Chain A
């Protein structure tokens, strides 16, 4: 329920309790004097008015919700483990004990869950979001899932009269913290327009890709390429080391040439030291490869490199590296016998 003239999301990075109820520096006027903030968006989103729900305070959900709060949005959070919400509640976020209650008290609810099973459970399970959704409300699922799961959630949401947008993101922990995510959306275009300004707070660019399933597919393709690239880079680092080269020199040479990528430059040095601080958990990368293989099978597309990469991530999982950064896949290549 939006209150006219209040609860506007704006850019002033000031104390929430003082400015939440004032229509302070309107974002549009701020943008008219400053350079365009989101260079890849065709239009600047109209300011969002109303309450925003956020389900899932994990590695990604927590900084995303935090950015919304910092921007002056009225945010209500939920997490399966309540304690993970505390730091946000301390900054002024509301809390509801179930996804249903978040959805019913908010105009638009975002969900950031780890995998298809949790995305479905949070949306349609016991006390799930659909029990609080209804006409005029929106549900934006930013989890990374397969197309079928997304369509299932979409149907359940639409049955309540609410609208649905799938919006998985490209980018991990740091881009989430820095508001630099890339949204790959599909589904209800009106809802997309409605939440565009929120996406612009959390991200640096957004794409609208059409029918539900297209966002999910695009995300899986991107992460498939990423997973294969990391596996290949791991092979290179290990081979360099085994033939008497300094892997740090390989990292530097790669960073100077045609195959230089932020991912390699950022993670290479840590990988050489066999440390894998978690920005993107390995288990999620493997999940994405598994889903990409499923997508490929559904369209009869052979993807042998991705299949080989998936095997490596599975080995790494069996080595107990699920919660390490996905760069830990290099360990799967090292000669180690299981105890």
Chain B
């Protein structure tokens, strides 16, 4: 099966690579062309523009960093819309707000194409290991066609209904995740200032009802003040902002998420945006100004 792949960042690169390793023919595009080279060495073809990728491939996947990038790849000159047509499918796996996703969906459908939004839960390692959780919505028939692709990229895929549902569910999950990271950071700080062993705290957490893979994976690096980017803080803050916005629309009370967002914003103001989102720990510790990326 042949697919186009737009966006070779932390996630896109790992995902495209995985598809190549599993026998898919992949045509890639990235705004910074040099990032395509590694994939070409693994057997990918290059598309010079998003439009040319869509021209060549029946199905094109996109993995961009935020709503602005997702829109630009579709609507701008040499964008997806110039070549999307009847029989072609566009699958946007970026994490965006529901309005952005709907906008893209509408434009694709107007041109006769079919559309699925499929944001993922999971970051770099899960992308590399094909362990993503895929939250798709939109065109059911296109989803069915993509199942073999999703099965390679992830451990489970959900079809949730009409466009917007996948986007919203992803934001809710990431909202919880961002708040949990803040809770862990507060716990580590309090333990530290109380003279307790941080490793012991992590060990105790891992034995009980609160145990979760994220704490287990990131805790040890955090206590060494290391934040190798698996999920950049700036994207986590973007997701919290979008989740809060969603809550605003529906007048839903979210004081924990609001407080968490403040911490992420502060981290960004201290230039920690490109570090892993666990770097919010520096803000909670009060040491953020000494720890720019």
| Chain A residues closer than 8 Å to B172, beta-carbon distance | 236, 239-240, 243, 245, 250
Majority SS at the chain A contact face: helix
| Chain A residues closer than 8 Å to B183, beta-carbon distance | 224-225, 228-229, 232, 305-306
- Contact among A171, A225, A231, A243 with B187 in the assembled complex (CB-CB below 8 Å): A225
- Interface membership of B205, Cβ < 8 A: yes
Contact check, B186 vs A224: say whether CB atoms are below 8 A apart: yes
- Interface membership of B279, Cβ < 8 A: no
What is the CB-to-nearest-CB distance from A208 to chain B, in angstroms, rounded to a whole number?
10
> When chains A and B are docked, how far (Å) is the Cα of A296 from the Cα of B188?
11
- Contact among A207, A259, A306 with B173 in the assembled complex (CB-CB below 8 Å): A259
Contact check, A309 vs B252: say whether CB atoms are below 8 A apart: no
Q: A225-B184, A229-B210 are in contact. Are A235 and B257 (CB under 8 A)?
A: yes
Contact check, A308 vs B259: say whether CB atoms are below 8 A apart: yes
Q: A304-B259, A304-B262 are in contact. Are A239 and B209 (CB under 8 A)?
A: no
Q: Which of A252-282 contact B (CB under 8 A)?
A: 252-254, 256-263, 266
Binds B, one of A61-69, A99-107, A157-165, A213-221: A213-221
Majority SS at the chain B contact face: helix
How many residues does chain A have at the interface if contact means C-beta atoms less than 8 Å apart?
64
What is the CB-to-nearest-CB distance from B233 to chain A, in angstroms, rounded to a whole number?
16
Contact check, B194 vs A253: say whether CB atoms are below 8 A apart: no
| Chain A residues closer than 8 Å to B247, beta-carbon distance | 239
Binds A, one of B4-12, B28-36, B140-148, B154-162: B154-162
- Interface membership of A295, Cβ < 8 A: yes
In the complex, the chain A residue whose C-beta lies closest to that of B169 is A245
Which residue, of B195, B209, B211, has the highest number of chain A Cβ atoms within 10 A?
B209
| Chain A residues closer than 8 Å to B284, beta-carbon distance | 302
> When chains A and B are docked, how far (Å) is the Cα of A191 from the Cα of B169?
51
| Chain B residues closer than 8 Å to A231, beta-carbon distance | 179, 256
> When chains A and B are docked, how far (Å) is the Cα of A295 from the Cα of B195?
12
What is the CB-to-nearest-CB distance from B243 to chain A, in angstroms, rounded to a whole number?
7
- Interface membership of B68, Cβ < 8 A: no
Cβ contacts A to B, 21 pairs, < 8 Å = A40-B207, A170-B204, A204-B207, A207-B200, A221-B190, A221-B201, A222-B205, A229-B180, A232-B176, A239-B252, A243-B250, A260-B212, A263-B209, A266-B209, A295-B190, A301-B190, A308-B256, A312-B256, A333-B252, A333-B254, A335-B251
Query: Which 10 pairs show the lowest CB-CB distances between chains A and B?
Result: A232-B179, A228-B183, A299-B193, A263-B209, A225-B187, A261-B212, A258-B214, A236-B176, A303-B186, A217-B194
